[in-house]
Amino acid sequence: MKAYRLVSPAPIEHKPLLPADLPLPEPAPGQVRIQVSVCGVCHTDLHIAEGDILPPRLPVTPGHQVVGIVDALLPSPTPGRKGEAPGLRVGARVGVPWLHWACGECDFCRRGMENLCPQAQFTGFSVDGGFAEYLLADSRYVLPIPAEIPAEQAAPLLCAGIVGYRALKKAEIQPGERVGLFGFGASAHLCIQVLRHWGCEVHVFTRSASHQRHALELGAVRATEAGSSAAMLDKAVVFAPSGEIIVRALESIRPGGIVSINAIHASDIPSFPYATLWGERQLRSVANATYRDGVEFLALAVKAGIHATVQVYPLEQVNQALDDLKHSRFDGEAVLEMTGG
Ligand SMILES: [Zn+2]
Ligand SMILES: [Zn+2]
């Protein structure tokens, strides 16, 4: 099977993902093999390819927003193991998110916070992901994809959408609140649709003129550069991987407000006066997402009629897709389509 693998991280302009012809992977007990239809391209994939985040093994096939068809399945022999995803069978259409595996036994897993499991493994990072024709997944963590959502629409929901949804939950956003989104890429353009569904007033801060236009089309009351004054926001979500933007967001919320940070990687946060935080303002990071977040968000996506803006590339153009992502050359999210053959 065809796969695009990272052997040695490098700036994306040097095309670090290399084509490979690999044997078809065989599922272990408790795993499914999935024939990939489409795979979304996430900012995290760019960070991995460029070496900002180092995977525990190389080479590795990135890609963790996979939509495909179950093509083989081996039941788990482990008694007492949490069950497999409902409706899982050969031929089922499923999604594979970032969380590949969690231990199920540690304090975090027992509290439903498997996103923080110290032994957690991640798709396209700890194990091979979806920039390939096939991949293996743990049958407990694959998500059934609602029939209403086409494959290329579903892929961006699986990380940009689910982790964005967790960031909205971490910011404890209430219906009708005034919310700021700092940065406006794949995740934010899905979050704004959830916020509009909840009747929130959304203010978007981004440098890109094209992303500003996109935000206004999706119902933002205002789209401008960060720092160009702040209406007092109730809550804010930071998507830009920038410590300075995190401070900007904190400066723009009211006392008692919350800023959640939807970024796996960010530059250092510069020092700021205590007064910026004082008044019971809270700053929270978001790490990965739980299986439950995925189930909740996919149901919400159908109910809210979320439409992802996608730029489709053939798998062979994965380096180009990542390069275009780095330079904000499209709105929404890039999605790789398997061309077959
Ligand atoms: Zn991601
Ligand atoms: Zn655990």
Q: What is the CATH number of the domain that holds 79?
A: 3.90.180.10
pLDDT tens sequence across 221-264: 999 987 656 669 999 999 999 999 999 999 999 999 999 999 88
Name residues whose C-beta falls within 8 Å of residue 83's C-beta, 6 or more positions apart in sequence.
140
Same-domain status, 31 and 148: yes
User: Residue 259 belongs to what domain range?
Assistant: 162-285
Same-domain status, 11 and 112: yes
Q: What is the CATH number of the domain that holds 183?
A: 3.40.50.720
Same-domain status, 27 and 79: yes
Q: What pLDDT score does 303 carry?
A: 97
Name residues whose C-beta falls within 8 Å of residue 140's C-beta, 6 or more positions apart in sequence.
30, 81, 82, 83, 84, 85, 291
Same-domain status, 153 and 166: no
Q: Relative to the alpha carbon of 185, which ligand is closest?
A: 1
CA–centroid distance, 169 to ligand 1, in Å, is 17
Q: What pLDDT score does 229 carry?
A: 62
What gap in Å lies between CA 284 and CA 224, rounded to an integer?
24
Same-domain status, 32 and 132: yes
Q: Relative to the alpha carbon of 123, which ligand is closest?
A: 1
pLDDT tens sequence across 23-49: 999 999 999 999 999 999 999 999 999
CA angle 323, 215, 158 (to 5 degrees): 60
Provide the residues around ligand 1 (an ion) whose CB is within 5 A: 42, 44, 159
Q: How many CB atoms lie within 10 A of CB 8?
A: 10
Residue 186 · residue 156 · CB < 8 Å: yes
Residue 114 · residue 140 · CB < 8 Å: no
Q: What pLDDT score does 321 carry?
A: 98
Q: What pLDDT score does 39 carry?
A: 98
CA–centroid distance, 206 to ligand 2, in Å, is 37
Number of domains the chain is built from: 2
CA–centroid distance, 241 to ligand 2, in Å, is 27
What gap in Å lies between CA 305 and CA 30, rounded to an integer?
33
What gap in Å lies between CA 40 and CA 287, rounded to an integer?
19
Q: What pLDDT score does 75 carry?
A: 82
3-state SS, one letter per residue, for the chain: CEEEEECCCCCHHHCCEEEEECCCCCCCCCEEEEEEEEEEECHHHHHHHHCCCCCCCCCECCCCCEEEEEEEECCCCCCCCCCCCCCCCCCCEEEECCEEECCCCCHHHHCCCHHHCCCCEEECCCECCCCECEEEEECCCCEECCCCCCHHHHHHHHCHHHHHHHHHHHCCCCCCCEEEEECCCHHHHHHHHHHHHCCCEEEEECCCHHHHHHHHHCCCCEEECCCCCCCCEEEEEECCCCHHHHHHHHHCEEEEEEEEECCCCCCCCCCCCHHHCCCCCEEEECCCCCHHHHHHHHHHHHHCCCCCCEEEEEHHHHHHHHHHHHCCCCCCEEEEECCCC
Residues of the chain with pLDDT under 50: 341
Q: What pLDDT score does 7 carry?
A: 96
Same-domain status, 52 and 196: no
Q: What pLDDT score does 264 carry?
A: 84
Q: What pLDDT score does 33 carry?
A: 98
Same-domain status, 150 and 14: yes
Tokens of 323: 């390069």
CA–centroid distance, 110 to ligand 2, in Å, is 7
Q: What amino acid is encoded at 246 in this protein? A: I
Same-domain status, 210 and 264: yes
Q: How many CB atoms lie within 10 A of CB 300?
A: 17
Q: Relative to the alpha carbon of 104, which ligand is closest?
A: 2
